[in-house]
Amino acid sequence: FPISETYFLSSREDAEEAARKLTFPVILKPPYRPDEWRKNTKEKAFKIADAEELLSIYDRSHKWADVLIAQEWITGTDKNHITCNCYFNSASEPLVVFTSRKLRQWPQKTGQGCFGEAFRDEIVSRETVRIFQSVDFRGLAYLEMKRDEQSGKYFIIEPNVGRPTDRSATAEANGVELIYTMYCDAIGWMLPTNREQKEGDVKWIYLRQDIQSALYSWLYGELTLREWLRSLRGRKWDAVFSWTDLAPFWYDLWRAVVLLIKPKSVKRR
């Protein structure tokens, strides 16, 4: 698998070895976020500048998970994050392959995409199909890769299987029937004709988190108000807002406010 240099840390000795051998910056994260991790931090991962900081954060956070991962940081902006959403049938044939890219994410640097667009990338498409076909996979699959700005190489960031991811709706928004293809294949119906990615122009946005991301970038001089407003031009598909069903939007907004005021009062799932 094309991944950046990685160490699994089960002890202080593992952390010390990683601190000696890794090239900084690195990220430190758990393989998944257990309740203890969520209880102590909102971060998915920590971006770490040097060996001393790695050991310091390891000492503070190693009790929050059974094992931690230290991995070399891949240079490049959010736009270097490319996602491929697929559906494979029972013969592990890819019936839908759709790629998109991040434009912004939240939290910054180590979060999840909050603004993205359709973006064709044959390298990520081929690698995604190769990996999942190698294990005869069937069902929904997702692979996120990032192109290193210095070397030009692509590295795996994260895979997911068995469920639609947040930005899989980008496919439907751009006329590609990802989820409906799965449904038709599962019950033996004729497959939809709109399964091939074309030059779509509908952007996907999680507006609340994108506002947070834009404010952060503005405070640090990385984005102006004019640049943010310009990026919002054109057709968009919102992650939670819909005029036909406002309840998810209001619940999401209420939960964000409560978490801000009383972070321990809302149960995380």
What would the pLDDT profile of 2-60 be if each residue is shown by its tens digit? 999 999 999 999 999 999 999 999 999 998 888 999 889 888 889 999 999 999 999 99
Number of residues assigned to the chain: 269
Q: What is the pLDDT of residue 110?
A: 76
With a cut of 50, say whether residue 266 has pLDDT above it.
no
The mean of the pLDDT values for the chain is 91
259 band by pLDDT with thresholds 50, 70 and 90: confident
What would the pLDDT profile of 145-179 be if each residue is shown by its tens digit? 999 998 999 999 889 998 888 888 899 999 999 99
Question: Amino acid identity, residue 249?
Answer: F
* Beta strands at 6-9 and 236-238: parallel, antiparallel or unpaired: unpaired
Residue among 92, 65, 86, 85 nearest 8 (CA): 65
What would the pLDDT profile of 70-106 be if each residue is shown by its tens digit? 999 999 888 999 999 999 999 999 999 999 999 999 8
Residue 112 φ/ψ, nearest 5 degrees? -120, 160
Q: What is the pLDDT of residue 262?
A: 66
Distances (CA, A) of 231 to 37, 40, 171, 183, 186: 34, 34, 19, 34, 38
Q: What is the pLDDT of residue 265?
A: 47
264 band by pLDDT with thresholds 50, 70 and 90: low
Q: Where are the alpha helices (DSSP H) in the chain?
A: 12-21, 35-40, 51-61, 122-133, 169-173, 178-187, 207-219, 225-231, 247-261
Distances (CA, A) of 195 to 35, 59, 96, 105: 38, 49, 6, 27
Asked if 205 contacts 114 with a C-beta cutoff of 8 angstroms, the reply is: yes
